[in-house]
Structure 1
């Protein structure tokens, strides 16, 4: 390793320790960026909210795995392909559920599970083995990019944008638009609190109409029933039905302590001799850096914030930057080998 730069920052201004991203940095062995899924309901394990719990559990498991490589006394921990590695990480999370006496609860209700994505780049002999689940990213030698973004997020982001625009047209201030759009995005149109403005039948009908129409235009190949399920149930009540299942078109993969289908395990293998730079990043970066290093990636972050602070434009998302928090945690790791 010739040079390395790393940066990680949590989204909450008042609680940087709540950062759900994690880094693995083990020179000459491997590297990883892990992004914990934002907790939906305040569930805690090991004293942490569920997303941070999953992220830190996977971080420790990867470190153990990398240290075991080449050790004949630990045959079960030798790299044997992407699915083997992902299954190992899933078992690590499941073991922590067991330690918290939570197995029955998480088996019965996906909303109680911790979750995370992973992008791992591991040095195995003379190869760089890359394994990914979810939407954290990788860039090799400045131009070879791997990042699997899920269309499901476009549905919930469109719903948030349409809700925001609806209330903006009524003259509501930015903070109110953000608050009401978040209620719809997270709870869905059919789970709004009785008496709330977002529960009014005429409001719900219009937001559903706009959201479904916009999703049809943006994602014409997606079955309307899947779009409607997400609009009605939102992130809290519907998104988990699409994770680690292969029947829905909008299905996606995530580490949560249970099986991840092969369809959602991405792998790449490179000759180590061909690698000059390895860059890993979480999806808190909506735009890639123009070059290697923290400075370039932080400039990309500032560019995005300047153009689309609320994330209802080119960089639409399920959350936006507010007075109390950034859109998301963000993490970057750059390793220069030559």
Structure 2
């Protein structure tokens, strides 16, 4: 099969690497690992915390894939091993926020492919069959962010300023935005109400409100937090709790293409190639630069940053 790998930092000038890590060991394993951007900007030995998590898990996933017995272990055992290695690497650092990452991997198992996914990175098979998990907490943040963006857009035509104000408000929380005089309490109440209505979380409105008032800076606390309605499974050193792991196989005879990709790509393209993925990315940038309409997400692009890091591995 033909192999293509592409990885691009969110920084348009390439001034720093991103937190996405692609993996390609032909005949063994292919994948992408999306490290979570650390709210505190933590850097360990020159490596951002999210990237460290992605690199650590990618290395261990390679070790597992190289061992025939290990790569055939039950999915929950593989995830437990990855979590244990990440915990051993990061616990001694005594960080306030545990570094975390997603995984989307394709393991070459001879006559078949095995796929493991945890988090919101994804895989597309044969150009049509998409496996992707979306987090409810991101839906909450996205609805709130779009509402906040539109609020600020009514105040200034400087779209970079609007995006940066919006990022600050969603990241540090609506309570902080109120205290800084950026929005009123009534405005915050309306944004929270919009997010609750759009996600159908009326039964846990207090939890949604607390999250938005605190901001995405506190999102890490919901990772593997069993019992919380905003909980999401992730690799952060603790064991995932929701059961969101996707673990399935396909006969090689039934697979003509494999694409694994991070959520830095708004949508899969019609063409199965890196060129196709990049064309679709830039079309989305041209169509919805601020990511407030059909490609709405938790951040928008600016003149200095794409809205996110992106990575894709394509096998055809």
Report if TM-score (shorter chain) is over 0.5: yes
- Aligned equivalents of 1:17 and 1:85: distance in 2? 31
1:215-251 per-residue CA deviation (whole Å, 9 max, x = no partner) reads 13311245212321221111012x1232112312222
Q: In the alignment, is the contact (CA less than 8 A) between 2:143 and 2:198 conserved in 1? A: no
Structure 2 equivalent of residue 335 of structure 1: 315
- 8 Å contact 2:226–2:242 — kept in the other structure? no
* Superposed displacement of residue 44, structure 1: 2.3
**Cα offset for 1:193?**
8.8
**1:199-238 residue pairs with structure 2 within 5 A?**
203-221=183-201, 223-237=204-218
Q: Which residue of 2 aligns with 1:94?
A: 87
Deviation at 1:143, TM superposition (A): 1.1
Residue 138 of structure 2 corresponds to: 153
CA distance in 1, matches of 2:90, 2:155: 46
Question: What does 1:247-258 correspond to in 2, within 5 Å?
Answer: 247-258=227-238
Whether 1:265 and 2:245 are equivalent positions in the alignment is yes
Is 1:167 aligned with 2:152? Answer: yes
* 3-state SS, counterpart of residue 116 of structure 1: coil
CA contact (8 A) 2:156 2:162 kept: no
Paired with 1:20 and 1:220, the residues of 2 have a C-alpha distance of: 31
Unaligned runs of 5+ in 1: 71-76
Give the C-alpha shift of residue 17 in structure 1: 4.1
- How far apart, CA to CA, are the structure 2 residues paired with 1:171 and 1:324? 19
The CA RMSD measured in Å over matched residues stands at 1.8
CA–CA distance in 2 between the matches of 1:138 and 1:207? 39
| Runs of 5+ unmatched residues, structure 2 | none
Question: What is the match of residue 181 of structure 2?
Answer: 197
TM-score by length of 1: 0.88
5 Å-filtered alignment, 1:42-191, equals: 42-69=41-68, 77-98=70-91, 101-102=92-93, 105-106=94-95, 109=96, 112-191=97-176
Give distance in 2, aligned partners of 1:289 and 1:311: 17
Aligned residue pairs, count: 315
SS of equivalent residue, structure 2 residue 33: strand
